[in-house]
């Protein structure tokens, strides 16, 4: 009895008059729900000897707590939940919050099943009124201000421009200082996604989540000449003759068309090795229209060399060759009047005179 009596006296909230000994066991259940909820001690009248002063019975119900503070009890959980939901919706509307956001009360709101004093029971309408702060809970002579805040969490996106980079390629295939845009650059577009947290409509936190790229930027590539004005010494230092013979035809008009390369041959040249004029990657090694057996080497920097009319291949596509490496044999395949090497140089897909690069007399 002593232990129970002490427990009851430690109740710090609602006045509960307990008189029936038989009610003690049941009462203990709800006692703990109230313990520690207020710093203001409330005297509890514990008169186990009297059976006349029954002012409040204990009833099963669902109590709403805000941040640990008892607000009121309702008959059923659905009513309690609906009251909370109604108040939340009203707050969202009153604060003009985004209905698509994840809106919830910042406060800790709990619905706790238990046995509660009859005079703490309210209906749904009254509960809404209490939670809305329109009235305060005062049947204990204690005023409890109901202060609910709504937290809204939503992802927002901001359009951003993804600026392109500019890549400069220096080449000795152009005179010093000359510039040419090889690839036009474009800015890209994207959306930066942020997680925004607001309390009662006021932003309190903004966290970057991710960048969604709508359009990738395209790097601009500019070719800048690094060859000394009027000189091609640098090129001559890099390129070697693919075949050491006599130039029988140069770039220029021939037979009513334009001849795109150098024809190089000499007596008994059929089957002689042809070498790479410069190091690079083999991007073609097959029959190519009138070129017959043809090898094309990509030297990077937009420069390619082409070797035509070969009688045999010494490389295949994908091979990386160094300057002077054998790539095939002199032949007369394709449209050809006799064994010779047809040699072309392309810069950015355009035909240039190989004599800029290789030194034939």
Burial bucket for residue 344 (CB in 10 Å: 0-12, 13-18, 19+): buried
Q: Select the span of 11-19, 31-39, 319-327, 341-349 touching Zn ion (CB under 5 A).
A: 341-349
Q: Shortest gap between Cβ of 270 and Zn ion (angstroms)?
A: 16
315 close to 327: Cβ distance less than 8 angstroms: yes
Q: Shortest gap between Cβ of 269 and Zn ion (angstroms)?
A: 14
Q: 34: closest CA among 19, 13, 16?
A: 13
Q: 93: closest CA among 135, 132, 136?
A: 132
Query: How far apart, in whole angstroms, are the C-alpha atoms of residue 176 and residue 187?
Result: 29
Site string for Zn ion, 144-173 (x = CB under 5 A): ------------------------------
The smaller minimum CB distance to Zn ion, of residues 115 and 263, is found at 263
The smaller minimum CB distance to Zn ion, of residues 351 and 356, is found at 351
Site string for Zn ion, 285-324 (x = CB under 5 A): ----------------------------------------
User: Which of the residues 36 through 75 are near Zn ion (CB under 5 A)?
Assistant: none
Sign of CA dihedral 166, 170, 173, 175: positive
The smaller minimum CB distance to Zn ion, of residues 24 and 291, is found at 291
Query: How far apart, in whole angstroms, are the C-alpha atoms of residue 345 and residue 349?
Result: 9
Sign of CA dihedral 153, 158, 162, 163: negative
Which residue of 342, 344, 345, 346 would you call a contact of Zn ion, by CB under 5 A? 342
Q: Select the span of 19-27, 146-154, 193-201, 339-347 touching Zn ion (CB under 5 A).
A: 339-347
Query: How far apart, in whole angstroms, are the C-alpha atoms of residue 282 and residue 318?
Result: 5
Q: Shortest gap between Cβ of 279 and Zn ion (angstroms)?
A: 24
Q: CA gyration radius for the chain?
A: 45
Q: Shortest gap between Cβ of 261 and Zn ion (angstroms)?
A: 5
272 binds Zn ion (CB under 5 A): no
The smaller minimum CB distance to Zn ion, of residues 186 and 288, is found at 288
Q: Shortest gap between Cβ of 260 and Zn ion (angstroms)?
A: 7
The smaller minimum CB distance to Zn ion, of residues 43 and 361, is found at 361
* Tokens linked to 62: 């669902």
Which residue of 62, 115, 172, 263 would you call a contact of Zn ion, by CB under 5 A? 263
Q: Shortest gap between Cβ of 302 and Zn ion (angstroms)?
A: 22
How many chain residues bind Zn ion (CB under 5 A)? 2
Q: Shortest gap between Cβ of 278 and Zn ion (angstroms)?
A: 19
The 3-class secondary structure across 200-225, one letter per residue, is CCEEEEEEEEEEEEEECCECEEEEEE
The smaller minimum CB distance to Zn ion, of residues 342 and 346, is found at 342
Q: Shortest gap between Cβ of 238 and Zn ion (angstroms)?
A: 23
Q: Select the span of 12-20, 119-127, 233-241, 335-343 touching Zn ion (CB under 5 A).
A: 335-343
| Sequence-ordered strand ranges (E) for 163-272 | 166-175, 179-183, 188-199, 202-215, 220-227, 246-249, 252-254, 257-259, 262-265
The smaller minimum CB distance to Zn ion, of residues 227 and 342, is found at 342
Query: How far apart, in whole angstroms, are the C-alpha atoms of residue 111 and residue 13?
Result: 18
Query: How far apart, in whole angstroms, are the C-alpha atoms of residue 184 and residue 174?
Result: 19
Site residues for Zn ion per CB under 5 A: 263, 342
């Amino acid at each position: 009895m002593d232990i129970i009596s002490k427990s009851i006296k430690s109740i710090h909230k609602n006045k509960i008059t307990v008189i029936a000994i038989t009610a003690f066991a049941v009462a203990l259940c709800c006692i703990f729900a109230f313990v520690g909820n207020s710093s203001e001690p409330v005297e509890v009248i514990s008169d186990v000897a009297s059976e006349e002063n029954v002012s409040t019975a204990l009833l099963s119900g669902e109590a709403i707590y805000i941040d640990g503070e008892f607000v009121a009890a309702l008959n059923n959980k659905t009513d309690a939940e609906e009251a909370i939901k109604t108040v939340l919706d009203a707050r969202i509307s009153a604060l003009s919050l985004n209905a698509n956001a994840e809106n919830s009360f910042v406060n800790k709101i709990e619905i706790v099943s238990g046995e509660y004093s009859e005079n703490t029971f309210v209906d749904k309408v009254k509960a809404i009124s209490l939670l809305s702060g329109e009235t305060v809970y005062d049947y204990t002579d204690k005023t409890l201000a109901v202060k609910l805040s709504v937290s809204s969490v939503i992802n927002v996106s901001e359009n951003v421009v993804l600026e392109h980079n500019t890549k400069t390629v220096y080449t000795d295939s152009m005179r010093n200082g000359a510039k040419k845009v090889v690839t036009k650059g474009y800015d890209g577009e994207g959306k930066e996604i942020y997680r925004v947290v607001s309390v009662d409509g006021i932003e309190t936190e903004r966290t970057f989540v991710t960048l969604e790229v709508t359009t990738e930027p395209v790097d601009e590539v500019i070719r800048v000449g690094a060859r000394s004005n009027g000189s091609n010494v640098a090129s001559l230092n890099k390129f070697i003759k693919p075949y050491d013979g006599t130039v029988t035809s140069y770039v220029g008009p021939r037979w009513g068309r334009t001849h795109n390369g150098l024809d190089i041959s000499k007596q008994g040249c059929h089957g002689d090795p042809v070498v790479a004029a410069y190091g690079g990657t083999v991007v073609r090694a097959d029959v190519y229209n009138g070129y017959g057996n043809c090898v094309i080497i990509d030297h990077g920097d937009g420069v390619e060399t082409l070797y035509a009319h070969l009688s045999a291949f010494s490389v295949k596509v994908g091979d990386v060759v160094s300057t002077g490496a054998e790539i095939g044999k002199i032949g007369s395949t394709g449209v050809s009047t006799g064994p010779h090497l047809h040699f072309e140089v392309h810069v950015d897909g355009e035909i240039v005179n190989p004599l800029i690069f290789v030194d034939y007399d």
